[in-house]
Amino acid sequence: MGNLAEFEHYLEHLCEVLGHADRGTGLKDYCRGLMLPIARKSVEPLAACSDPLHVAAKHQSLHHFVAKSTWSDTAVMERVRDWVVPVLGLDSGNYWIIDDTGYPKKGKHSVGVARQYCGQLGKQDNCQVAVSLSLASERGSIPIAYQLYLPKDWAADPARCRAAGVPGDIVFATKPEIALEQMRQAKLAGVPMGVALADAGYGDETAFRDGITELGMLYAVGIRPATTVWAPGTAPLPPKPWSGRGIRPTRLRREPGSEKLLAGHPNEPVAVKALAMALPAEAWSTVAWREGTDNELSSRFAGVRVRPAHRDYLGTEMRPEEWLLIEWPEGEPEPTKYFLSTAPLDATLEQLVFVTKMRWRIERDYQELKQEFGLSHYEGRGWQGFHHHATLCIAAYGFLVAQRLSHGGGSEKNCARPETSPLPADYVPRGRRTNTAACAGFDSNAAISHRASNRPRASAMPLLRWG
């Protein structure tokens, strides 16, 4: 009962920023429904469990609150952050994790739906994709920003955008651009600065890495095997000598000819894969980063100081040196992962690995948000409803994260959840011919679990406090 009382206090904490007192009932009922152990968490099942005797009226009320009511997602997310951050333990390590997640979705009228890569399916298909920024520590993590990615064909179709309620100031932006704006807003809001972590879909963008540096933050981000760098002992040529006439040359140069690239010419950059394959055997070390479910998680790694080379021939100065971290598991024919990091020069290989692998926390967040809190269950088509539903899912999840951390990390997953209200015997969900509610054993949108969740970390791993 103590947990339920605290949950009610938490809901009051969130309601303070809704703008109108009558919106509080909608938020409380919606979040209470998300905490219930029901298989489907779209609006109608939530209404059926929240008020079984008046399902139609409650459905209309909840639908209006999530799809039509104009409360601020940003304000509610700030209240969630204020509740969770004090128990995250950011003093021992603070990380900003950038990622995106997809939801399979049929049709063409739901906002942002397009044929694009969906991580849940592992292939391209019709889906919606949202970009998120999460705040993480060794103890836990919580999304603090969440925005739908609007594909180009949507952004170029004003009529379809208006029909889906897309705000007029929303224009096309790439996922890295959306993520950078989320980070800028988080910094302006006073969120404690941390090390930025992202996969190769973001880290391979030079502008994204430069944007993180401009924010005054360090990063450890994935890159693709074809990304080019200046290997140790190599560098671009200086500008051409000035002939005394015309504009003095200022741009750096490369030695022309791809055959020199393959030969490792000192004035040509090299792909990180080629660099990794040429490293001597003594460059590789086995590093463990945490305890897994069954055994210790470890792999082979190498760290090399390099300079990113992307289009540096358009500049006048060489880019600063960074760490190139390469993972090559034992038994694999070639390296599997590459990372660039602006970690300090004296960072150890163990520290680089530990920080880079912290990105796994976002996978656990998405898994629980989809499977336990119905993040992918929203059935509406509009922009506002999509974001309101996600905000409320994150709000419910935030309370559970805080409960776990406040109780020493050992609280059961469902410790703070109320019991489901019994449905009346004559209740018939819309569109069904039976008298039963949604089947509790079937969820067509359940997230695919890639890894075991909530793994304890290796106690002997050194901590890294960058910045």
217 Rama class: left (phi>0) / alpha (psi -120 to 50) / beta: beta
* d(C-alpha 207, C-alpha 430), whole Å: 49
**What is the SS3 assignment for 253?**
strand
The pTM (predicted TM-score) of the whole model is 0.83
Q: What is the pLDDT of residue 464?
A: 45
Q: What is the pLDDT of residue 317?
A: 72
* d(C-alpha 242, C-alpha 177), whole Å: 39
Count of CB atoms situated within 10 Å of the CB of 244: 6
**What is the SS3 assignment for 96?**
strand
Q: What is the pLDDT of residue 122?
A: 84
**What is the SS3 assignment for 277?**
helix
Residues whose CB falls within 8 Å of the CB of residue 6, separated by 6 or more in sequence, listed in order: 403, 416
**Segment-wise mean pLDDT, segments of 10 residues, the chain, 467 residues:** 84 95 94 93 92 92 96 97 94 94 89 90 91 95 97 94 94 97 97 96 95 97 94 73 66 55 60 95 92 79 92 67 96 96 96 95 92 94 97 97 80 48 55 41 38 39 42
Which secondary-structure segment (H or E) carries 136?
strand 123-136
Nearest to 360 by CA among 414, 292, 410, 299: 292
Q: What is the pLDDT of residue 312?
A: 66
Could you tell me which residues are beta bridge partners of residue 327? 301, 337
Q: What is the pLDDT of residue 91?
A: 87
* Cβ atoms 395, 411 nearer than 8 A: no
Q: What is the pLDDT of residue 323?
A: 97
